[in-house]
Amino acid sequence: MTEDIKKEYLVRKKKYEGEYIELKKKDNILALQRGLIAILSIGFLIFGYLKEITLFPIYILPALVLFVYLVIQHNRIKKRIQFLQNLIQINKISLLRLEGKWTSFDKSGKEFMNPDHPYSGDLNIFGQGSLYQYINSTTFFMGEEALANSLSHQPDYQEIGLRQQAIEELAPRLDWRQQFQASGMGSEKKNNNIRGLLKWSREQPLLEERKYIYLVWLLPVTTALLILLMALRIVPTYIPLIFLTTQVILATASLKFTSLVFRDTENAATELERYRILLNYIESENYQARLLKDGQKKLFRGKQTASKQIENLSKIGELINLRYSVVYLFINALTFCDFYIVWRLDKWKIQSGIYLENWFRVIGQFEALNSLALLAHDNQDWIYPEVIKGSPYFSAKNLGHPLINGQSRVCNDVSLPTPGTVHIITGSNMSGKSTLLRTVGINLVLAYAGAPVCAQNMKCSLMRIYTSIKVEDNLEQNTSVFYAELKRIKKIIDSAQEGAPLIFMLDEVFRGTNSLDRIFGAKTVIKNLYLLSTIGFVTTHDLEISKLEEDYPNHIKNYHFTDQFVNNEITFDYRLKEGVSTTTNAIALMEMIGIKI
C-alpha cells in the first residue's frame, strides 16, 4: 500500500516538474521579447525625435500595446511557476513523510506546547518529532490554531462523527487538497498583516462617526468650479488660489489621520488575493459531509460570496498602495482621494467587516481537516474508530504507534472493557512500556480529532485523557520530580472525582522517591483511581506493585514485555504478554556499554 502511494507522489512530482521546465522556457522567451520591444521602442523614439518625424510617438502605440500584453502574460506565467514550485515541494514533503524523514519539517507546533496540559507533552502532540509536525499541511495561522485545537481539546461527541465524515470525504481528493495547500503557501510570513486587518475589521467605521468629513468633499468641487469661472474671467485669480491653497494644507494635515487608517490594511492588501483564491476553492467545490457544507455556507450571503468581497477589498488595497507615488500626492491635494478611499473602506467594513474573521476561520478549519485527511490518504490501511458515549471503555486490535515507521512498528491488542480496570505493566528497560502508553494515548487523540487510527480495529468511549510520563523537576519553581509527579496525579484524581469518563497513563509511578514510599504511594494511587471508575495503565519496575492483582482480580490485571540476550546482544520483541515480567537487563546493559561490574 505504501509503495503505491509513494508511486502516486512520484508521478505527480515528475508531472509538475515537467510543466515547470516548459513554463520556465516560456518565461525566458517572454522576458527576452519584453526587453527587445522596450529597446526597439526607445530606439525608435530617439530616432523619430532626431529626424523630427511628425507624430512619431503615435507609431509606437502598437508596440506599447504589445508590451503591456507581454507584461500581463509574463506575470501570469510567473504566478503559475510559483504555483508549480509549491506543488513540487508538497509532493517532495509527502515522499519524505512516507520515508520517515519528517522530523526536519519546519512547523513543529512548539508554540502550542503547554507543560500544564493533561497529555500533549507526554504524548508528543507538539514540538520536535511530534504528531503535529508529522501531519501539518497548514499555511495560515488560523489553520495552525485549528489543527492544534483539534489535537489538544476534547470535542463534543457529535463533532467527532462530523469530522470523520469530512476527513473521509477529503482524503481521496488529492488534487484539490494539494492545489488548496499550494495556493496558500507563502502566507506564513504575512500572518501579522492579516492580524492587523482583522483588528481593523473589528473597529468602528471612522467616517460614520464623523459625518462632517463629507463636507470636505465639497471643497474640491468648489475649487474646480472657481478655476473654471476664473478661466471664463468671471472671478479674480486670487479666489480659486485661496481655495486651492486651503486644499493643499488640509490634504497635508490629513496625511497623519489617513496613514493611521491605512496602517492595518495596506500591508495586507497584497495578501488578499491569496485568501480570495483559497475561499474560491472552498466555494466552488461540491461536498457531501455536513461539516464541509456548513463551512461552505458561511461564505455565502445571498448572491455575494466571501471571495468576491475579499476581491473588492483587495481592489481598495491596491488604491492604498498607490499613495506612495509622487503623482498621487499631487492628485490627492486636488481631489482629496484619500478620503474617498477611507469612505470605500468604511463602506466595505459596514457591509462585510463582521464576517471577515469567520471567513478566515473557515479557511483555517479546512486546512486543519486537510492535514488530517492527508494522514488518512497516506495510511489507507488504518481505520476510523468507533467512538461511543458512556462510561470509560477502550479496546483495540493490532494497535500501533502512528509516528513509528511501518517497517519498525510492532502492534499489540489492548482492552480495558469495564470502568475501574487498571493494567499494571512490568518489563525491563527499553522493552516498550512507555511506548505502549503513548500508543494508546496518541491514537485516542487522533480518534477524537475525527482521524483514522493506527489499528486493525478500535472502539472507545469519549474520555478525558490524562498522562504522567515525562515528569521533570523545575528549579525556578523549586519543584522536585517527585513533587511534580504528585501534583500531576492530584490533577488526575481531582478530574476523576468530577465524574466524567477518564483514562490515565502513569509511567514509572513515583520514580523520584525511595522504593518503600514508591510502592506504598503507587498502590494508594491505583486504588483511588479504580474506585473512581476510571480506566488506565501503570508501568513499573517494582514487582511488589503487581501483587495488587491478587487482591483485586476484578479490577487489576498484569501485563509485561520481555527481552532476550542473543550473542551478547539484547533484543526486544515489543509484544505485550499477560502476567508479570521475569526478566531484568540493567546489569547487562551496564556491561554492554563498558561499565565494570
Predicted local distance difference test score (pLDDT) of residue 495? 95
Predicted structure pTM score: 0.88
Give tens-digit pLDDT for 443-461. Answer: 999 999 999 999 999 999 9
Range with the poorest average pLDDT among 67-81, 269-283, 317-331: 317-331
Q: Assess if residue 148 is contained within a domain.
A: no
Last residue of a domain, one of 359, 376, 405: 359
**Same domain, residue pair 275 and 392:** no
pLDDT tens for residues 549-581? 999 999 999 999 987 776 677 778 899 999 998
The pLDDT score that the predictor gives to residue 588 is 59
227 with 281, same domain: the answer is yes
**Once rounded to an integer, what is the mean pLDDT over residues 345-363?**
92
What is the average per-residue pLDDT within 366-371?
98
In the listed set 359, 394, 427, which residue is the last one of a domain according to the structure?
A: 359
130 lies in some domain: no
- 170 within domain boundaries: no
One domain, residues 524 and 476: yes
Is 353 domain-assigned? Answer: yes
The verdict on 406 and 354 lying in the same domain is no
* Residues 529 and 398 occupy one common structural domain: yes
Q: Is the pLDDT of residue 64 over 70?
A: no
Q: What pLDDT score was predicted for residue 326?
A: 64
Whether residue 314 lies inside any domain: the answer is: yes
Question: What confidence tens digit (pLDDT) does each residue in 218-268 have?
Answer: 777 777 777 777 777 787 777 877 777 777 777 676 667 777 677 767 667
Select from 491, 325, 462, 475 the least CA-distant residue to 385: 462
Residue 120 has pLDDT above 60, yes or no: yes
Q: Same structural domain for residues 439 and 582? A: yes
Own/partner pairs, 71-77, CB within 8 angstroms, 24+ separation: 71/34, 73/30, 74/27, 74/30, 74/31, 74/34, 77/23, 77/26, 77/27, 77/30
CATH number at residue 542: 3.40.50.300
Q: What is the pLDDT of residue 315?
A: 86
Q: Is 74 exposed, middle or buried (0-12, 13-18, 19+ CB in 10 A)?
A: middle
Q: Which of 99, 129, 148 is the last residue of a domain?
A: 99
Distance CA(155)–CA(426), nearest Å, equals: 33
Q: What is the DSSP string of 139-193?
A: -SHHHHHHHHHHHHSPPPHHHHHHHHHHHHHHTT-HHHHHHHHHHHTTGGGGHHH
Same domain, 582 and 464: yes
Residue 194's alpha-carbon distances to 5, 199, 271, 533, in angstroms, are: 36, 9, 8, 47
Do residue 452 and residue 536 come from a single domain? Answer: yes
pLDDT score at 372: 98
> Is residue 208 domain-shared with residue 325, that is, in the same domain?
yes
Listed as own residue / partner, the contacts of 484-490 with beta carbons closer than 8 Å and 24 or more positions apart are 485/509, 485/510, 485/511, 485/512, 489/525
Q: Judge whether 374 lies within some domain.
A: no
Task: Read off φ and ψ for residue 101, nearest 5 degrees.
Answer: -105, 40
Class of residue 453 by CB neighbours under 10 A (exposed 0-12, middle 13-18, buried 19+): buried
Q: What is the model's pLDDT at position 13?
A: 96
- The predicted pLDDT at position 333 comes to 74
- The 10s digit of each residue's pLDDT in 305-319 is 999 999 999 888 878
Q: What integer pLDDT is reported at residue 247 of this predicted model?
A: 72
State yes or no: pLDDT of 212 exceeds 60: no
Report the pLDDT value the prediction gives residue 48, as an integer from 0 to 100: 60
Q: Do 315 and 401 belong together in one domain?
A: no
Those residues with Cβ within 8 angstroms of residue 168's Cβ, 6 or more apart along the chain or in another chain: 289, 376, 384
Helix or strand run (H / E) with residue 566? strand 563-566
Instruction: Measure Cα distances from 594 to 365, 457, 584, 589 in Å.
Output: 53, 44, 18, 9
pLDDT of 591 > 80? The answer is no
Q: Judge whether 572 lies within some domain.
A: yes
Q: What is the pLDDT at residue 582?
A: 74
Confidence grade of residue 153 (pLDDT, cut at 50, 70, 90): very high
- Among the residue ranges 6-20, 89-103, 481-495, the one predicted with the least confidence is 481-495
Which residues share a beta bridge with 304?
301
Is the domain of 326 the same as that of 425? no
| Segments forming the whole domain that contains residue 402 | 386-592
**Total domains, the chain:** 3
Partner residues linked to 423 by β-bridges: 537, 557
CB atoms within 10 A of CB 225: 13
Q: Do both 575 and 447 map to the same domain?
A: yes
Considering only CA atoms, give the Rg of the chain: 33
Q: Is residue 370 part of a domain?
A: no
Name residues whose C-beta falls within 8 Å of residue 105's C-beta, 6 or more positions apart in sequence. 93, 96, 97, 133, 134, 136
